[in-house]
Structure formats: structure tokens, C-alpha cells
Amino acid sequence: MTDADTVESIAAALRDDPVLVHELLGNGRTDEVHDALSGLVEDLADQGVPAYVALVQTPDADLPSSADDAGDTLLRLIHQELGEPGLYVVATQDTLTAVATYDVPLDATSISLGRYDAVQAARDDLPEGEFVPAAGEAAVLLSVAADDDLSLTPGEVDDLMDSGPWVAAYGDEPMSYELDDARGEPETPLVFAVAFALVALVVGWRLLRARTAWAGGATSEPRTRRARPDGPLPRPRTPPQPRIDTTRKQARKLLAALRREVDGSLQPVTDEVHGSLEAAEDLVDSESRIEVVAALVLAEQGAGRLRGDELPVRCYFDPRHGPTQRRVVVSDVSLPACGACAEAVAADVPPASLTTDDGKRPYWRADSIWAATGLGSLDPDLWRLVAERQR
Amino acid sequence: MTGRVRDLVLALLLAALAAAAGLGAHALLVDVRTPEPTVIGDRVQRAADAFAAGDHVYVAADAHDLLPPDAAARLEELAAGSEVPVRVAVWEDSTDAGYRGIWDAVGQLQRVADDEGVFVLYTGPGDGVVDDNLEGPLEGDIPSDFNGDPERRLSEIVTAVAASSEGPASDWSYWGGTGGAIAAGLLYGGVAIPVLLLVIGLVRLALGRRFRMVGGWT
């Protein structure tokens, strides 16, 4: 199909449809521009003013070289050919947008002046690179003509520009090298994936091992206290650590007393008392420091059982610290603790734990019946486990 | 399952998730860096539709005076015979047709056509552009001016394109291939690990904890 490219064919097209928009002036949305301009033409027609709009390619006609004069000349030629009264708006890619009136009560000069003010107002609000194309200028001309004062306020101009395809906002199409640069090399995603995976693997492993270590011995992670403005950092109070011989002596004394009471008792003595006594007697002369401490615990528990008292419970972290004063929660486990150890746990400082015989770690981290029972602080059947072990 | 095995499985799972996150981060970066494509206007779209329908030459309704139908038919025959795909669009020059300039228009054409080839856009004597989106370089002497009779000049250009060939695509890779990319990823990750551990340590210090975490690497 060929666009109308003579004055005669343009006039003929306008006779059928008062709005003729060629693709080259359609702002990339020719049908939309046509329909919107048709609406404005109908608005004018409702006011009794017929209007004709031709946004067309430069036709084969004898036109002046000046763009201004060429537009006016073409408009006049189209009107002569069409022969209808009305408001005429004509533009080509080579001319300015011309306006004229024929036999209607509107002054073309006033409309044109109103157009310049309105287009200037519209341009003032546009970002760099955007402009009002011929289609927008035609819309402005029709709107000015429809206004009683033949002028548009800046607000009316804004509303008009927002109401249809009247602004050319084309932008720059990215060049292929720009797209290539943005995409980067095809292997770059692999670089990202490997780098992220390696970091996550190594750092994740280290964090997970720390978490495991923390869960296995929650108090094994010491914290430094925040420095106070004055004075040195406070240190948690550490309970006195009795020598093993002192503990052994203390255990023997308790055992001797318990033996005397058991042997002299006129009442039947329970298995728990006998078991505690015998287990303690088996352990008290041991070379193992832990076993001596266990003897002390068992002797004390046997005496308590014999008297029918509540079972005495010593500090989980080191029974030598003395009886339980508080319970502390470590890794969701409630543990009996002496005052100093409870204070240490609360301060997130490792309590002074009884260590394994090699002194390398807290006894409760070893795989032993002492760890399993918390040296009797968690499990009252320590005597039974000792007896089974002896068998 | 021992704690060590469990931690290893979790760390590998983390690594897999991180690899996916790395791909996502790269895609995000590409999105951020990629310039916004322009909106395609009806003029370019019609030409692209014609090319998609199999035409090699598209003459807009306003351009039949530039290239009459019989000339367009001869040019179509010439372009169809070219081994190197060539598309010719002809339309009147305009500032109000939905694109900023002739290079924007030909860029839009290549994008919408979504097909590799040589694209010729002619907007009148002296005005036109030849561009291609071939994978390899176009090896040949293609005229770059559009002076003279439209049919004759466009025929000369299409003939030159037909006589040219597409060179082998460059296999140059910034990373040196897949192995190089993996090595680069390991290198970057290796640099990032101590930095991240340092940051973790500093955060721990700020929270009143020791710089070093409990436990060890084994």
C-alpha cells in the first residue's frame, strides 16, 4: 500500500476521514495518534467547527523551500482541493506545523500564538532528548482552538500531554557492544558460582564446626568482657581447688563414718546405701583423681541415703566445689552448679571444671560413666554403674 | 552420622545454595548494567514483521517513490540469493516515527527481527546504514555510502554482501575457557575467604566475643 503522496490524494483521504496520519509522523504509534486526534476533531465539531488534520509525507507538489512557507502553501493547496470550511492543521517531515481557518469564527493567528505558548510550556517539563512531535503540536492546536480563550494554562497543557501519544520519548537503543559489555563473558556466571560456592563451603564449614564445638561444650567459648572505662577486666571468681590427697582424706573420713553407721545399724540397710558404700570404698584409694572425687560423692550420697535425707547433689562442673547452689542451663540442659560456676556460666566464662586425669579436657567431655552421670549430680545411680563397671 | 560428616553435608549444601546465589547475583548485575531497550514503534515493527514473514526487502508505504515496486522486486530477488542473510528496509527519513536516529532504528530492527544477518536501512539518497549482528565478522568490502540512484546503490550493497562471507566467530575468552573460569572463581573465592573470616572476627569482637571462634578446622 502506498501513502497518499499528492495534494489530490491527501484531499481525497481527508474527505473520507478528517484525520490523516502517515506512519512517518505517527510518533511510532500511528493508529493511536490517529484515534486521539479524531477525538479532538470531534470535540471541535461538537462546537460547530469542522477540522482537518493532515500529518503526511511531503507530497509531489510545487512547494517553497522555506519550511514555514512550505507548510502554509501545502495547507492552502489542500484546502483549495478539499474546498471545505474549517480549521486546517497540516505538517510534513519537511515543514513546520501549519494552521489556518476558512469560514469559521476562529482566528488562526490567535490559535497559532496559543500553540506556541502551550508547546513551550510542554517542552519546559520534558526531560532532555524528549520533544513534542508534529502529532503533539496538532493536538495542541486543536485543543487551543476548542478553548474559549484560545490558550491553554500550564495545567491544561500537562493534562493534554498526559492524555495521549503527544510526546516523543524515544531514548537510545543500546548498541550491540553495550549489551555485550553488560552481559559479560559467557563463563562469568561460572566464576560467580565457583567463588560463592568456595566461600560458602570453607566459611560454612568453619562456622558449622564452631557451632558443633559450642553445642558439645557450650561453655567452651569464652567471651571477653567489654572493657570498662576504669579498672582492669573483672575475672570470675574461681573456687579453691582442693588437692587430691585432701579429697581422698575427706572421702575416707566420710566412708569410715558411714561404715560404722551401716555396721552398727539395727535397721535393714538398703541396697543403695550398701552399693554407694562399697563403690566408694573401691574407688577411694585409686590413683585416678576423678575416681577419688567419685568416692567422695558416693560416700556422701550413701550417708544421705542412710539418714533418709534428700540425696546430696554437688556441683556438676567439679564436685569438689561443694553442694549445688543454683541450676544453670547450658545447651538447653539444666545443670546443678555451685555459686562460682553458676556465676561463670552466667558471665559466659568457662567454669573451672574438673579435668580428665590427663588434664586435657573437662571430665564431662570424656566418654565415661563420670561424664554420663555428671559424677552423680545428674544420675543418682552412679553407685550402680560403678558396681557394674567393677564386675 | 557423626558431627563431622553432618557438618560436611551441611557445608556442601551451603556451597550449592551459594553457587545458585552466585548465578542469581550475576544475573542481577547483568540486569542492572544492561541499558534499557527502547520502545519499538510501528514503523520498525512493520519492517520486522515483513522480515519475519520471509521478505528480504521492506519498503514502507511512504517510500515507494524511493524504491518503486518493480525495483523492490529485483532487489528482493538479489537479496534472497545471498548466502549471508541480508535484509533491506527503505523508508522516508523522519524525526517523528518512533526512533531517535537511523542507528537506533537499525538496532531496533536487529533486536525485533531476532535473526542474524546484515541489515541495510535506506532513508534516501546519501542516507543509510549497513550493520550486522552476525556471530563472526563480515569479511568483504561493503560500500558504506548511499549516494546515487537508490536501486542501483542498494543493489551494489546487496551484491557486495552476497559476495562476502562470515568469518569464524572469535573463540577468545576473557577467562580462558571453562577451566580458566573455574580457576578464577577459586582465586576470587580464596581471596574472599580470609576477608570474610576477618569480618566475622571483627563482628564477634564488636559483640563482646573473642575474635577467634571455638573449635577448629577439623
Structure confidence at residue A185 as a pLDDT band (50, 70, 90): confident
Specify whether A193 is located in the same domain as A248.
no
**Within this chain, do residues B189 and B158 fall inside the same structural domain, yes or no?**
no
Helices (H) and strands (E) in chain B, counts: 6, 6
Number of domains in chain B: 2
List phi, psi (to 5°) of B75.
-70, -35
Q: Does B8 touch chain A (CB under 8 A)?
A: yes
For residue B44, what is the nearest residue in chain A, using CA coordinates?
A28
A287 Cα to chain B: minimum distance (Å)? 31
Rounding to the nearest 10 degrees, give the CA dihedral for residues A367, A371, A372, A376. Answer: 150
Chain B residues within an 8 Å CB radius of A2: 61, 64
B123-162, pLDDT tens digit by residue? 999 999 999 999 889 999 999 899 999 999 999 999 999 9
Q: Is the domain of B82 the same as that of B159?
A: yes
Query: Which of A25, A33, A170, A219 to mutate against chain B (most B CBs within 10 Å)?
Result: A170
Percent of all residues in chain B with a pLDDT value above 90, rounded to a whole number: 75
Vertex A327: Cα angle to A321 and A332 (nearest 5): 120
Residue B18 lies in a domain: no
Which residues of A fall within a CB distance of 8 Å from B14?
200-201, 204
Say if residue B107 is in the same domain as residue B71. Answer: yes
Q: Do the Cβ atoms of B96 and B115 come closer than 8 Å?
A: no
- Give a yes or no: residue A178 inside a domain: no
Claim to verify: residue B159 and residue B191 sit in the same structural domain:
no
CATH of the domain at A131: 3.10.310
User: Using the 8-state DSSP alphabet, how is residue A310 labeled?
Assistant: P
Residues of A in contact with B17 (CB under 8 A): 200
- Asked if residue B171 is part of any domain, the answer here is no
Q: Residue A35, Cα to own-chain centre: how many angstroms? A: 46
- Chain A residue nearest residue B218, CA to CA: A209
Q: Does B2 touch chain A (CB under 8 A)?
A: no
What per-residue confidence (pLDDT) applies to A219? 44
Is the pLDDT score of A344 beyond 70? yes
Both A260 and A382 in one domain: the answer is yes
Do B77 and B125 lie in one domain? The reply is yes
- Select from B103, B188, B215 the Cβ nearest to the Cβ of A195: B188
Contact A3, B61 (CB under 8 A): yes
- Residue B117 and residue B198 share a domain: no
Q: What angle do CA A368, A373, A375 make, to 5 degrees?
A: 85
Chain A to chain B Cβ contacts (< 8 Å): 263
Residue A68 forms part of a structural domain: yes
Task: Give this complex's ipTM.
Answer: 0.79
Has residue B84 been placed in a domain? yes
Number of domains in chain A: 3
- Lowest average pLDDT, out of A7-21, A191-205, A242-256, A278-292, goes to A242-256
- Shared domain for A78 and A196, answered yes or no, is no
Cell numbers for A307? 539418714
User: Residue A146 — pLDDT band, cuts 50, 70, 90?
Assistant: very high
A281 in Cβ contact with A302 (< 8 Å): no
Greatest mean pLDDT among A65-69, A268-272, B78-82 lies in B78-82
Q: Evaluate whether residue B120 is within a structural domain.
A: yes
Residues near B7 by beta carbon (within 8 Å), at least 6 away in sequence: A205, A208, A209, A212
Q: Is residue A183 part of a domain?
A: no
Take residue B193 and report the three cell numbers written for it. 575467604
Residue A224 has pLDDT above 50, yes or no: no
Whole-number Å distance between alpha carbons of B133 and B174: 21
Tell me whether B178 touches chain A (CB under 8 Å). Answer: yes
Burial class (CB in 10 A: 0-12, 13-18, 19+), A337: buried
Do residues A12 and A123 both lie within one domain?
Answer: yes
Q: How confident is the model at residue A239, as a pLDDT?
A: 57
Inter-chain residue contact B14 with A201, CB threshold 8 Å: yes
Res B18: pLDDT: 96
Domain assignment present for residue A1? The answer is no
Domain with B79, as residue range(s), is: 42-166
What pLDDT is recorded for position A51? 97
What mean pLDDT do residues B182-199 have? 96
Contact present, A175 and B167 (Cβ < 8 Å):
no
Higher pLDDT, A322 or A224: A322
Residue A230 has a pLDDT of 46
Contacts of A199 in chain B (CB under 8 A): 18, 189, 192-193, 196
- Do residues A194 and A152 both lie within one domain? no
Is residue B59 within 8 angstroms of chain A, CB to CB? Answer: no
| Pair B159, B55 in one domain | yes
Which of these ranges, A57-71, A285-299, B100-114, has the smallest mean pLDDT?
A57-71
CA distance to A87, A165, B84, B126, per residue, from B155 (Å)? 45, 38, 15, 15
pLDDT reported for residue A231: 43
pLDDT of A1 > 80? The answer is: no
Q: How far is B78 from chain A (nearest CA, A)?
A: 22
- Give the model confidence (pLDDT) of B4-37 as tens digits: 888 899 999 999 999 999 999 999 998 888 888 8
**Same structural domain, A256 and A376:** yes
Of B180, B196, B214, the CB nearest to A199: B196
Taking a C-beta distance cutoff of 8 angstroms, is the pair A71, A37 a contact?
no
| Statement to judge: residues B52 and B110 lie in one domain | yes
Domain boundary among B142, B166, B190: B166
Chain-centroid distance of CA A62 in Å reads 67
**Given B18, B41, B65, which is nearest A197 (Cβ)?**
B18
Buried b (16+ CB within 10 A) or exposed e, A30-65: bebbbebbeebbeebeeeebbbbbbbbbbbeeebee
A279 and A157 in a common domain? no
- Containing domain of residue A201, as a range? 189-220
Q: Where are the beta strands (DSSP E) in chain A?
A: 19-21, 51-55, 86-91, 98-102, 326-330, 333-337
Q: Do B18 and A196 touch (CB under 8 A)?
A: yes
- For residue B90, give the H/E element and its range: strand B86-90
> Given an 8 Å threshold on Cβ–Cβ distance, is B214 in contact with A175?
no
Substitution target from A198, A219, A228, A361 for chain B, most B beta carbons within 10 A: A198
In a domain, B135, yes or no: yes
Which residue did the predictor score with more confidence, A66 or A75? A75
Output the average pLDDT for chain A: 87
Asked whether residue A315 is domain-assigned, the answer is yes
What DSSP designation does B40 have? P
Closest C-alpha to A132, from A118, A146, A145 = A118
Q: Does B108 touch chain A (CB under 8 A)?
A: yes
Does A216 contact B3 at a Cβ distance shorter than 8 Å? yes
Domain membership flag for residue B67:
yes
DSSP code at position A23: G
Percentage of chain A beyond pLDDT 90 is: 48
Q: Are residues A74 and A106 in the same domain?
A: yes
Closest CA to B14 of A188, A196, A189: A196
Are B207 and B143 found together in one domain?
no
**CA B23/CA B44 separation, integer angstroms:** 34
Please give the Cα distance from A304 to A273 (Å, whole number).
9
Residue B210 and residue B129 share a domain: no
pLDDT higher than 60, residue B42 = yes
- Does any domain span residue A225? no
Could you tell me the pLDDT band of residue A227, with boundaries at 50, 70 and 90?
Answer: very low
State the DSSP code for B209. Answer: S
Among the candidates A163, A178, A203, a domain finishes at A163
Q: DSSP string of A241-291? A: ---HHHHHHHHHHHHHHHHHHHHH-SSPPPHHHHHHHHHHHHHTT-S-HHH
What is the percentage of chain A residues whose pLDDT exceeds 70? 92
- pLDDT surpasses 80 at B40: yes
Q: How far is A180 from chain B (nearest CA, A)?
A: 9
Please give the angle made by the CA atoms of B32, B37 and B41, to the nearest 5 degrees: 160
Selected residues 74-103 of chain B with any CB under 8 Å from a CB in chain A: 91-100, 103
* Neighbouring residues of A63: CB distance < 8 A, sequence distance ≥ 6: A69, A70, A73, A74, A95
Long-range own/partner contacts, residues A12-20 (CB < 8 A, 24 or more apart): A13/A54, A14/A52, A14/A54, A14/A78, A14/A82, A15/A82, A15/A84, A18/A50, A18/A51, A18/A52, A18/A53, A18/A86, A19/A52, A19/A53, A20/A53, A20/A54, A20/A55, A20/A56
Q: Do residue A16 and residue A92 come from a single domain?
A: yes
Contact A121, A85 (CB under 8 A): no
- Of the two residues A130 and A367, the one the predictor is more confident about is A130
pLDDT tens profile A231-279: 444 455 555 566 778 888 888 998 998 888 888 887 788 888 889 999 9
Distance from the Cα of B189 to chain A's closest Cα (Å) equals 4
Whether residue B104 sits in one domain with residue B181 = no
Considering the domain architecture, whether residues B122 and B196 belong to the same structural domain is answered as no
CATH at residue B88: 3.10.310
3-class DSSP assignment, residue A20: strand
The backbone torsions φ and ψ at residue A327, rounded to the nearest 5 degrees and listed phi first, read -110, 140
Domain shared by A12 and A159, yes or no = yes
Domain membership of residue A321 (yes or no) is yes
CA distance B70 to B55: 15
Q: Is residue B36 part of a domain?
A: no
